[in-house]
Amino acid sequence: MEKKALLNAGAEYRRGWWREVIARRDTQNRVPNFDELEPTAPPLVENGPNSAYAVSWRIRVAASWAWRFLAIVAALGLILYGITKVSIVFIPLAIALLLTLLLEPMHLRLQKWHIPKTLSAIISLLVGVGLVVAMIWIATSQLAHGAPALLVKAGGGFDKALAWLSDGPLKLDQEQIEKYIHELTAQITAFATKYSSSIASSALSVTSSVASVVTTILISLFCLFFFLKDGRQIWIWLIRMLPVPAREPVHEAAIRGWTTLNGYIRAQAVVALVDSVFISIGAAVLGAGSMTIPLALLIFIGAFIPIVGAVTTGAIAVLILLLDKGFMAAVIMLIVILAVQQIESNVLHPMLMSSAVNLHPLAVLLGVTAGTFLAGIIGALLVVPVIAFFNTVVLYLTGHDSMPELSIRHDRIGGAPGTVHAQVAASYIGGSKKDTAKVMASQELSRQQSTAATASPAKDPTEKAGDTAVADGPATDSATPAGSEKS
């Protein structure tokens, strides 16, 4: 009985399921008769402040994100466009700031030795510029001195290559090889003749580029001197143009950003030193000879440009050894460079940069690529410090202090915590601590008066008139509570 009941129930379920399928099909295929419909009132349409809710929530969120994203992209595009228009000013300022980070420790040390600020700035500037000029001069002079020997060896290698083509497995005819070389020379000559105007215009652009480089160097040195001499005064002058509530947050965020840049420059200098030492040792072992010192200097200077500098200087080292010692020496030099780069990327860079710059390597790679595309070598040099600075500043302004120890240090750059308003007051008068204290007391008094005035606002004229009338009236009237009426 139970089995029969179960079978009947299953059959009934299948029949009911099939009837439902047929009913749904008939409903979907049913065509309404529009001629027999009765008139009805139109649906209620809300045209008011809440009519936006008729749009889907997801569509509204997507639209909000879209227009805000477009506004941000437009603002960034305008900023980049403005920077490109004033690049003759922006690039020297950025380079001067980076050089200030390098020379600031020497400048502060000289001031601790009671050397006047102007004289210490001049000494720091001369020492820094002298070191850079000396390194560039040594590198270029050594390369120029060894270039003729390299060209002779390169010519010998070219002759060996031609001999291999004729005597080696290819067995090419000597006359055929000379014919190909003659045709190649003729094509190069025809190309130069055809595009001589373009070459001339390119030469003019190179000349203008040289003039632009000289102008950039001069402006950078001029700005560097005043950044060393009057850097704090320039910053306080910028701070005092901000609204009072924004001064301290911006000052604290800038201190942390400057500390980040300082750590980045020092860490990059250590990494550059390690790269130059180990790669130059490898070049010396392989027989670079007199080229070892210029290679070390080039690698040290180039290492300050992330990724691009290491690749360029490494390629120069490989090329020199290829021309001087042959193919195998160049391959071994390439292996040495790759090994040093791996040690730098996996050991030195995380150890030194983790505490200085909180940036992911992917952010560095993409930033360097974008900076190189937008501004060439200068963009590759400046993009990582700029990203690191704004990363630290934005983190602090959004409530994430990456350097909480700076909030209790009194020997930090930018002055002790909580003294920014005193520094602004002192910048107006340029006096002693006593004069600054007077200005601060006056500002505090005016702040208290404004607070009291805000807490008890002045009454309107009608209320004053009413108060006067009450005061002039009988004593019983003046004791009457405000707002009550006599019967």
301 and 135 Cβ atoms separated by less than 8 Å: yes
Q: Which of 23-32, 235-244, 273-282 has the largest mean confidence?
A: 235-244
Q: Distance between CA atoms of 226 and 122, rounded to whole angstroms?
A: 10
CB neighbours of residue 126 within 10 Å: 10
Q: Of 467, 177, 146, 438, which Cα lies nearest the Cα of 316? A: 146
249 compared with 60, residue with greater pLDDT: 249
- Stated length of the chain: 487
Can you give the pLDDT at residue 486? 37
Question: Does residue 83 have a pLDDT over 60?
Answer: yes
Alpha-carbon Rg for the chain in angstroms: 39
Domain annotation covers residue 205 = no
The pLDDT tens digits for 402-435 are 888 888 888 888 888 888 888 888 888 765 555 5
Domain annotation covers residue 292 = yes
Question: Does residue 73 have a pLDDT over 90?
Answer: yes
- Number of domains making up the chain: 1
**pTM for this model (two decimals):** 0.65
| Residues 452-461, mean pLDDT to the nearest whole number | 57
The pLDDT tens digits for 355-382 are 567 777 777 778 878 887 877 778 877 8
Read off the amino acid at residue 362.
L
161 and 172 Cβ atoms separated by less than 8 Å: no
Q: Distance between CA atoms of 91 and 364, rounded to whole angstroms?
A: 20
151 compared with 19, residue with greater pLDDT: 19
408 and 255 Cβ atoms separated by less than 8 Å: no
> Which residues, 6 or more positions from 118, have their beta carbon under 8 angstroms from its beta carbon?
229
Domain span at 93: 87-195+211-407
| Residues 59-75, mean pLDDT to the nearest whole number | 92
Can you give the pLDDT at residue 481? 37
461 compared with 149, residue with greater pLDDT: 149
Phi/psi for 326 (5° steps) reads 105, 180
What DSSP designation does 307 have? T
Read off the amino acid at residue 65.
W
Can you give the pLDDT at residue 431? 52
Expressed in angstroms, the distance from the first to the final Cα of the chain is 97
Show the CA angle centred on residue 118, arms to residues 114 and 124, nearest 5°. Answer: 85
Structure tokens at 82: 């403005």
137 compared with 461, residue with greater pLDDT: 137
Show the CA angle centred on residue 104, arms to residues 98 and 105, nearest 5°. Answer: 130
Show the CA angle centred on residue 275, arms to residues 107 and 136, nearest 5°. Answer: 60
Which long-range contacts (C-beta less than 8 Å, at least 24 apart) are formed by 304-309? 304/268, 304/269, 304/272, 304/381, 305/377, 305/380, 305/381, 306/364, 306/368, 306/380, 306/384, 307/364, 307/365, 307/368, 307/380, 308/368, 308/372, 308/377, 308/380, 309/380
Task: Characterize 21-56 residue by residue with b for buried, 16 or more Cβ atoms within 10 angstroms of its Cβ, and e for exposed.
Answer: eeeeeeeeeeeeeeeeeeeeeeeeeeeeeeeeeeee
Among the residue ranges 53-57, 99-103, 164-168, the one predicted with the least confidence is 164-168
* Pure H helices in 29-116: 57-85, 87-112
Structure tokens at 319: 């090329």
Can you give the pLDDT at residue 393? 92
Can you give the pLDDT at residue 405? 87
Domain annotation covers residue 236 = yes
Domain annotation covers residue 436 = no
| Residues 38-58, mean pLDDT to the nearest whole number | 69
Structure tokens at 408: 């209790």
Domain annotation covers residue 201 = no
Question: Angle formed by the axes of helices 244-285 and 327-343, to 10°?
Answer: 150
CB neighbours of residue 170 within 10 Å: 9
Can you give the pLDDT at residue 126? 93
Question: Angle formed by the axes of helices 244-285 and 361-397, to 10°?
Answer: 160
The pLDDT tens digits for 329-343 are 888 888 988 888 777
Structure tokens at 158: 């070219």
- 3-class state of residue 1 by DSSP: coil
- Where does the pLDDT of residue 464 fall: very low under 50, low under 70, confident under 90, or very high at 90 and above? very low
Domain annotation covers residue 37 = no
Domain annotation covers residue 34 = no
Q: Of 225, 232, 224, which Cα lies nearest the Cα of 251? A: 232
| Residues 443-456, mean pLDDT to the nearest whole number | 66
What DSSP designation does 30 have? P
275 and 310 Cβ atoms separated by less than 8 Å: yes
What DSSP designation does 399 have? T
Domain annotation covers residue 144 = yes
The pLDDT tens digits for 192-208 are 666 555 544 544 454 45
The pLDDT tens digits for 210-256 are 777 788 889 999 999 999 998 888 999 999 999 989 999 999 999 99
Task: Judge residue 408's burial from the number of C-beta atoms within 10 Å of its C-beta, 0-12 exposed, 13-18 middle, 19 or more buried.
Answer: exposed
Can you give the pLDDT at residue 9? 61
Question: Does residue 21 have a pLDDT over 90?
Answer: no
24 compared with 88, residue with greater pLDDT: 88
Q: Distance between CA atoms of 92 and 168, rounded to whole angstroms?
A: 56
The pLDDT tens digits for 91-118 are 889 889 988 988 988 998 898 898 998 9
Q: Distance between CA atoms of 361 and 347, rounded to whole angstroms?
A: 13
Average pLDDT over the chain, rounded to whole?
Answer: 75
